Amino acid sequence: METLSASMDATNDTINAQWSFLGGGVSPTARISSLALRFVLRDNAGWHVSEPTTYVSGSAFSLEATELAYFGYDPTNSIVAIGTSETPSFNEIDWVGFQVDATRGPNTGGANAGLRKFSVQAFPGSLETAFVQWANSFLLSGTNALVSADPDGDRLNNLYEFGLGGNPTNGNDTGISPTYAVVAQSGTNGFQYVYPRRTGDSGLHYALELNPDLVSGSWSNIGTSAETGSGTLDVDFESVTNRISTAGMEKEFIRLIIEQTP
């Protein structure tokens, strides 16, 4: 089935299939001795077909698309050519479908197996559309274009470079650095932390984490609960001001987390 551009991740990737049969179910002695389904999709990396999922029993089942193994796929080949193992991007998906593999059993008579209902869970648009455009602007390709890659070796991966406005090909340009200071407000000192946030990209999520002790403590994610305001930096970024109370604290460590989420 064709669809508008969509994307999948581990939270939005469920495939639901409901079977119907003519001439009985599936068993070694039935008219259909075995049955399997392959998920087919086309994303911004090309065509892919999943490993087969074997029918066991019942009339319906669910799969998690991002947990399946995939292979290259040529839909124009009349014999359905399945290539070598590969990993889809699951971004900018504009076509999804399925392939049913069935084996005729020893029982004579008419037999039919098909899908009465087939649905795929995804979200519209693409988390990585803006990121991909950004990566392309720096001529990144292959593994260097992954969100987790660090092509310039500055210990900031591409996602953080993107989220902070850095240059992934120049280790001296890490973007707009967060600033921090102890600031008094209404007679009480507090820790002020200001970081840049890219605008116009709903797939980016920024959050703060706190830790009272780097040796024996643990990081606690406070999300955006400390945010007190924001202002425009430039056409792509805004500054986000956060205030963390220092009352009763001998020390406190803070870090910025940038993630891609639906």
Residues of the chain with pLDDT under 50: 1-3, 127
Q: What is the pLDDT of residue 129?
A: 64
Q: What is the pLDDT of residue 3?
A: 41
Question: 223-250 pLDDT, tens per residue?
Answer: 999 999 999 999 899 999 999 988 888 8
Strand partners, 12: 9
Report CA torsion sign: 103, 105, 111, 114: negative
Q: What is the pLDDT of residue 1?
A: 39
Work out the end-to-end distance of the chain between its first and last CA atoms, rounded to an integer number of angstroms.
23
- pTM, rounded to two decimals: 0.53
Q: What is the pLDDT of residue 62?
A: 84
Q: What is the pLDDT of residue 31?
A: 74
How is the chain split into domains, by residue range? Answer: 2-124, 129-164, 179-260
Question: 8-31 pLDDT, tens per residue?
Answer: 877 778 888 887 666 566 777 677
Residue pair 206/258 in contact by the 8 Å Cβ criterion: yes
Residue pair 68/37 in contact by the 8 Å Cβ criterion: no
With left for phi above 0 and alpha for psi between -120 and 50, is residue 90 left, alpha or beta?
left
Q: Which tokens belong to 14?
A: 């469920």
Pick the CATH number of 2-124 from 1.10.3470, 3.30.1490, 2.60.120, 3.30.70: 2.60.120
Strand partners, 46: 43
Beta-carbon count within 10 A of 165 CB = 18
Q: What is the pLDDT of residue 164?
A: 95
Into which CATH architecture does domain 179-260 fall?
Answer: Sandwich (2.60)
2-124 and 179-260 share one CATH topology? no
Q: What is the pLDDT of residue 2?
A: 40
